[in-house]
Amino acid sequence: MRMSCLPVSLYAGLSAGRRTLADWFRFAAELGLDGADISVAHLPGRDAAALDPLRRQAEDAGVAIPMLATYTDFTHPDPATRARQTDELRSCIAAAARLGVGYLRVTAGQNHPGVQRDEGIAWACAGLTACVEEASAAGVTLCYENHTIGYGWTHYDFSLPSAIFLEIVQRTAGSGLQLLFDTANNLVNDEEPLPVLEAVIDRVAVVHAADMARKGHFEPTVVGTGVSPLAAIFRRLHQHGFDGWLSVEEGSKTGEEGFRQAIPQVRYLWKEAEESLA
């Protein structure tokens, strides 16, 4: 198992320029991670002049960049906006390929007021699958997440309810679209994550190890200190033979200490789950 981290707690500093992605790569290496995930929101640009130095910085730090997180909004009621989202995704695919990133996190879109269930699902399926072949040709795998809310979004994800997420997963079967399974986001909607994982486990390419302080609330906490059933989820992933990237989503906003606490805890829980099945 290879471990990376999405540094949500560092987003404010990265956006304000108080911290650079090179700083993040070095910190990830210090934490003993194999990879350091990043967000498209913090790319200095999309051209070679911006991306090539970034790739070298990660290489110099000794970490991969396994995943680039995007915030695709395919459920917007305006057709022109949805079309621009597809263009944006194509740009992100090209950036990921330039960086040597293997996985691109994609989302259904926001729960915009007035959007009906059937039309939102149809728009999401169309947008999520529009660029799968282009991405694959570029060496990039698109991974659709059971997601809560994107950086800079106003509304929760349209597919936060597991019934909608699972319908989109079912409708996109055979398209080549893979999944990023988050261990905590279903809790926000007062739902259990393990049954959702069971329904989609054959398509899970990457896992976000995340945690919430309380069920029914969006309150990210240090992974391993909340109510996410991590031990049971990890056992099921081991049983299934999952060997992809395990990414710690650190969004507790507790500073560097949150990373230093969460990452060893996830390693411990993952190993414990493995040993429990031996």
CA–CA dist 278, 276 (Å, integer)? 6
β-pair type (103-106, 67-69):
parallel
Per-residue DSSP letter, 7: -
Contact 131, 143 (CB under 8 A): no
Please work out, in degrees rounded to the nearest 5, the angle formed at the alpha carbon of residue 123 by the alpha carbons of 101 and 194. Answer: 65
Name every residue whose Cβ is closer than 8 Å to that of residue 219 and which is 6 or more positions away in sequence.
212, 213, 226
Q: How many CB atoms lie within 10 A of CB 131?
A: 23
User: What average pLDDT does the structure give for the chain?
Assistant: 97
Residue 3, classed as helix, strand or coil, is strand
Based on C-alpha coordinates, what's the Rg of the chain?
18
Using the structure block, give the residue that is written with the tokens 């990921």: 96
* Token code pair at residue 150: 């994107």
- Residue 230 CA to residue 238 CA, distance in Å, equals 12
Nearest CA among 194, 115, 211 for reference residue 157:
115
* Mean pLDDT to the nearest integer, 140-149: 98
pLDDT at 212: 98
Count Cβ atoms within 10 A of the Cβ of residue 213 and give its class: 0-12 exposed, 13-18 middle, 19 or more buried: middle
Retrieve residue 46's tokens: 């999309």
Task: Indicate whether 39 pLDDT > 90.
Answer: yes
pLDDT above 70 covers what percent of the chain? 100
pLDDT tens digits, 201-246: 999 999 999 999 999 999 999 999 999 999 999 999 999 999 999 9
Is the alpha carbon torsion for 201, 205, 211, 216 positive or negative?
Answer: negative
Q: Cα–Cα distance between 51 and 70 in angstroms, integer?
A: 16
pLDDT of 278 strictly over 80: no
Q: Which residues pair with 210 in a beta bridge?
A: none
Which residue type occupies 272? Answer: E
Q: What is the mean pLDDT of residues 9-30?
A: 97
b/e sequence 180-194, b meaning 16+ C-beta within 10 Å: bbbbbbbbbbebebe
Domain ranges (residues) in the chain: 2-276
- pLDDT > 90 in the chain, percent: 98
Is domain 2-276 in CATH 3.20.20.150, yes or no? yes
Residues in CB range of 79: below 8 A, 6 or more apart: none
pLDDT of res. 1: 86
Q: What is the model's pTM?
A: 0.97
